Amino acid sequence: MILRHYLFAFLFFLTRFYYARATALTTLVAPNERLCFYADVDKAGEKIGFYFAVQSGGSFDIDFDVKDPNEHLILDGQRERQGDYVFTANVVGEYAFCFENDMSTIADKLVDFDIMVESEPRREAPAKQSQISDQTSALEESIFRLNNMLNGIKRTQKHFHTRENRGFSLVKSTQNRLFWYGVFESLGVIAIAVTQVYVLQTFFTKTGRRYKV
């Protein structure tokens, strides 16, 4: 019973403190707009995960850059549709994650992104018994493998979510184009019919006298 208690306590410790801080957001970037988001790093050596994907708008692309507290450029890209990066924070302070929509003049860009500040857990044995230590070590390895698998599933879900949003945006844009194409086509047919009637009327009109047919 005591062994089970220690195992559950150790399991809770790992799952609680492996990801120290995480932020998942969705933002709308207007044309010619620059938006920046910030994450604090408390100690040097922490890992930062940065993921983003353009869900809708234009060609599903956007410019981005990541800077450290000293304004040094860490990552940047132009006309990127999505990205998934992990880097080590060597400087303590506030890191800036910015999106810029300068390439578009009329289209808003809907961006889904995650900012994760990761801290490695301390591997401490919960008890002095060798049997418990061996079992917790095996349990720790299993937890890390499960964590990697869950991260893979999470990224796959994000990928399918992005594809779904882009497909829906494309279908909606196509529907709008077909609607306006139908409207302009109808107006064109009406305009041609009116023009034909006018031409026929003027064709059978001569020196002010109208002939009926």
Residue 89 lies in a domain: yes
Residue 81 lies in a domain: yes
Residue 200 lies in a domain: no
Q: Which residue in the block uniquely carries the two structure tokens 């796959």?
A: 156
Neighbours of 205 (CB within 10 A): 11
Tell me the mean pLDDT in the region 72-94: 91
Residue 192 lies in a domain: no
Q: What type of residue is 89?
A: A
Q: Which of 13-22, 51-60, 109-118 is least confident?
A: 13-22
Q: What is the pTM of this model?
A: 0.58
What is the secondary structure of 104-151 as a DSSP string?
Answer: -SS--EEEEEEEEEE-PPP---SSS-HHHHHHHHHHHHHHHHHHHHHH
Provide the number of structural domains found in the chain. 1
**Confidence class for position 143, pLDDT limits 50, 70, 90:** confident
C-alpha angle with apex 178: 174 to 181, nearest 5 degrees? Answer: 135
Residue 86 lies in a domain: yes
CATH code: domain of residue 110: 2.60.120.680
Q: What's the full length of the chain, in residues?
A: 213
Say what the pLDDT of residue 4 is.
Answer: 46
More confident residue, 184 or 128: 184
Residue 11 lies in a domain: yes
Domain that holds residue 35: 2-165
82 touches 52 (CB < 8 A):
yes
